[in-house]
A and B are shown apart, each in its own frame.
Chain A
């Protein structure tokens, strides 16, 4: 199994959710996040004084899937989240040893 984490622009979240549902992904977790990449935040102006704000609001999406589905899921997220502009985010995958469904105690892929 793989844990896929995606950091995307918050306003692309709905598109990513729809794409994952179409792929048959059963569940996901979304967290409000802040951070920056190469573009380093944005500038705000108050009475002529400029402030650099380096942390930009982001949505962090986490989903655990079977190994065979991982590439498709990552591709779907990238396609749905891409705007072509700077700050579109990142997606990565890491191996997961095991998963337990809390309600039933099922383990492994059955718990997904």
Chain B
């Protein structure tokens, strides 16, 4: 089963070199142990554009979809047999990147 690990943070571009190193180590472990699907950091929320084309006429809005202090700063997508494994990896991931991490399964 695949899980989305969303990295949640209240600032942007604040990753330190130490955090980046720890993330690299964690990523290597995900690959080595067969959990790795995909991972990536996101640019600042100010770079976001929201598109609403539900009425057939696209409306573009400058900025993220919600006014909030915390936003997604990056993601891991992992393949794990169950939630306990996903939670354990998310716990390590949170330590590595020094951020909160949300775990949600894909449908």
Instruction: Decide whether A and B assemble into one complex.
Output: no
Q: Which residues of A come within 8 Å of B, CB atoms?
A: none
Q: Which residues of B come within 8 Å of A, CB atoms?
A: none
